[in-house]
Amino acid sequence: MDIQLLPDELLSSRLVLRRHKLEHAPALFKCIDHDRERLREFLPWVDATRTVLDVAVYITITLDRWEKGEMFDYSVFLREDESFLGVMDVHEISWEERRCEIGFWVLGEQEGKGYISEALGVLEQALFKIGLNRLEIRCSSNNEKSAGVPRRNGYTLEKTLNLHTLEQGSFQDTLVFAKIKPKKP
């Protein structure tokens, strides 16, 4: 299968998913720093993200990997006022097997408003359109809010990887959810 790139911008009724830009680094760092304690519980990269430069380096990496079809990383904004809400990314892409993994995080004060479920819906459509067949979402079995997203979006819990991930010094189970591209009637 040929590598296909996603559009730089995806739109839903309330949201804009926009490919990261270096100019997003200060705002992105401010949000990470503001929500650091909450985010670090389940996201291992938070403690290594100490400066705006750390975020800029990460964005530079994502831009390069985007062009190679290895990763698609979006900032998620509210359409009405362009306020930053979180991040949605596509990684672990296998073009040969037509599958990928989706990750996300949202600012604490924006949880529970359906933004990530909405962003996931528009991202899924784009991924299926470019030829991917299987989408996975993995999260800690302790992260009930993250696990709720794939459940609300029609993913199937396929398995639990026992003591799979080291979180804050102890091993935790990882839930693996999947969605398969719908067959055309």
User: How far apart, in whole angstroms, are the C-alpha atoms of residue 32 and residue 25?
Assistant: 10
In a domain, 50, yes or no: yes
Range of the domain at 81: 9-180
In a domain, 138, yes or no: yes
In a domain, 76, yes or no: yes
107-127 pLDDT, tens digit each: 989 989 999 999 999 999 999
Q: Which of 54, 67, 68 is nearest to 25 (CA)?
A: 54
DSSP string, 82-122: --EEEEEEEEEEETTTTEEEEEEEE-GGGTTSSHHHHHHHH
129-163 pLDDT, tens digit each: 999 999 999 998 888 889 999 999 999 999 997 76
In a domain, 4, yes or no: no
Domain harbouring 31, CATH code: 3.40.630.30
**DSSP strand E in 23-167: where?**
72-78, 84-94, 99-106, 134-140, 156-167
Q: Say whether pTM exceeds 0.95.
A: no
The domain tally of the chain equals 1
In a domain, 1, yes or no: no
